[in-house]
Amino acid sequence: MLQIWALDGIREIVAGDDLVALIGAAAGDSLVDGDILVVTSKIISKAEDRFVAAADREEAITAETVRVVATRVAASGHTTRIVENRLGIIAAAAGIDASNTPDGTVLLLPVDPDASA
């Protein structure tokens, strides 16, 4: 049987946080052999301080891009780029995200997600 739940007690992640300690404290004794723990790239990026100014978003997308897969210009004039980033991930805007970040910032993907895992 598959059960999915979120860990309670993890506060907003900030640069330099020890994610292992925070997750371990929140999990307590609830994890057992065979459990799978899923950690979002967002909290890793926050702990790694991968924030850039929102004004630099387009430059950050360009810097993270290895290959442009598709470009679409909306009627509003907004351009969306689907790209392959330096990690080999294909995503809109190179995975750069403005949701749940401090005002005026965007968040890059982790430096090395495999190492973080």
Q: Which domains does the chain have, with CATH numbers?
A: 19-116 (3.90.1660)
At 114 the pLDDT is 87
H helices within the chain, ranges in order?
Answer: 19-27, 41-47, 57-64, 113-116
| Structural tokens at position 16 | 């330099």
Mean of pLDDT values over 78-94: 92
At 78, the pLDDT band (50, 70, 90 cuts) reads confident
Residue 117 reports pLDDT greater than 80: no
Mean of pLDDT values over 59-77: 94
pTM: 0.86
Mean of pLDDT values over 93-108: 94
At 116 the pLDDT is 85
User: What are the pLDDT digits (tens) for 6-65?
Assistant: 888 899 999 999 999 999 999 999 888 999 999 999 999 999 999 999 999 999 999 999
Rounded Cα distance between 47 and 29, Å, is: 24
At 64 the pLDDT is 94
| Structural tokens at position 83 | 């790209």
